Amino acid sequence: MNSSMEAPGRAVPAGSKSFLRRPLLGWALLGAVLWVCPAPSFAGAPTEQIRGTIDRAIEILKEPSLATKGKKEERRGLLRKEIAPVFDFAEMAKRSLGPNWRGRTPEERDRFVALFRELLENSYLGKIEAYQGEVIRYDKEKVDGPYAEVKTLVVTRKGQEHPVDYRMLGDGGRWRIYDVVIEGISLVNNYRSQFNSILQKSSFADMMEKLRATVKEQRS
């Protein structure tokens, strides 16, 4: 199963939309998977770990004292602390940069990871707060050595089902997400396609500038 978990998901062709827009569409579904039905009794450690994070995030969003507009940043800070342990942002960043990771200096890698993490967190938290009643059904959980995959179905109010699969790596007794495949499309592979497309035509510095611009737009 190791090979199946490492196999790339379907990617959207590069150049069809503006920089870093396609993966953000996937977060609309990914945000929905924070809101879940009770996990089945057979769920193992990877599923239970995701579920624990979800339960704590829900409690934060239900807290009346954090519901006002002036408390938005405080609420987001608490949510960031909850999702940080379950996402391996460094691994996601490395896989998203692909072969281009090898040519980067340690300083460049650190800057890229930090910026890429902010991009993902901003997208993720925005979709959490836009929840519209979707629920999740757990399908299967697979574990093979340090790799795990949790397959889920996001069910909309209209009964439409959207598959969302979490790919995870074992890390010191914990399981951390390194990719999410939404309806057969890998977020990591989509980012990698876009980064590769930019780096074929311009420099790493130019790509970082585009990434900064996208993050700045998220903040506004």
pLDDT tens digit sequence for 34-81 = 444 444 444 578 988 877 887 787 788 888 898 888 898 898 899 899
| Local structure of residue 173 (DSSP, 8 states) | T
Residues 6+ apart with CB under 8 A from 176: 85, 86, 87, 88, 91, 168, 169
Which carries the bigger pLDDT value, residue 31 or residue 101? 101
CATH topology of domain 19-215: Nuclear Transport Factor 2; Chain: A, (3.10.450)
Mean pLDDT within 78-100: 93
| pLDDT confidence tier of residue 105, bands split at 50, 70 and 90 | very high
Position 193 scores a pLDDT of 95
Position 97 scores a pLDDT of 96
Position 20 scores a pLDDT of 56
Whether 24 has a pLDDT exceeding 90, the answer reads no
| pLDDT confidence tier of residue 118, bands split at 50, 70 and 90 | very high
| pLDDT confidence tier of residue 202, bands split at 50, 70 and 90 | very high
Length of the chain: 220
Buried b (16+ CB within 10 A) or exposed e, 103-119: eeeeeeeebbbebbbbb
Query: Measuring CA to CA, which residue among 85, 86, 10, 8 is closest to residue 50?
Result: 86
| pLDDT confidence tier of residue 188, bands split at 50, 70 and 90 | very high
Mean pLDDT within 83-111: 95
Which carries the bigger pLDDT value, residue 109 or residue 9? 109
| pLDDT confidence tier of residue 16, bands split at 50, 70 and 90 | very low
Dist. CA 76–CA 204, nearest whole Å: 30
Q: Are 187 and 95 in contact (CB under 8 A)?
A: no
| pLDDT confidence tier of residue 10, bands split at 50, 70 and 90 | low
208: exposed, middle or buried (Cβ count in 10 Å: 0-12, 13-18, 19+): middle
Whether 92 has a pLDDT exceeding 90, the answer reads yes
Per-chain mean pLDDT for the chain:
81
Tokens of 4: 């199946």
Residue in this structure with the two tokens 């996601």, named with its chain if needed: 92
Which carries the bigger pLDDT value, residue 128 or residue 56? 56
Dist. CA 211–CA 199, nearest whole Å: 12
- The mean-pLDDT minimum among 71-75, 82-86, 111-115, 126-130 falls in 126-130
Position 131 scores a pLDDT of 60
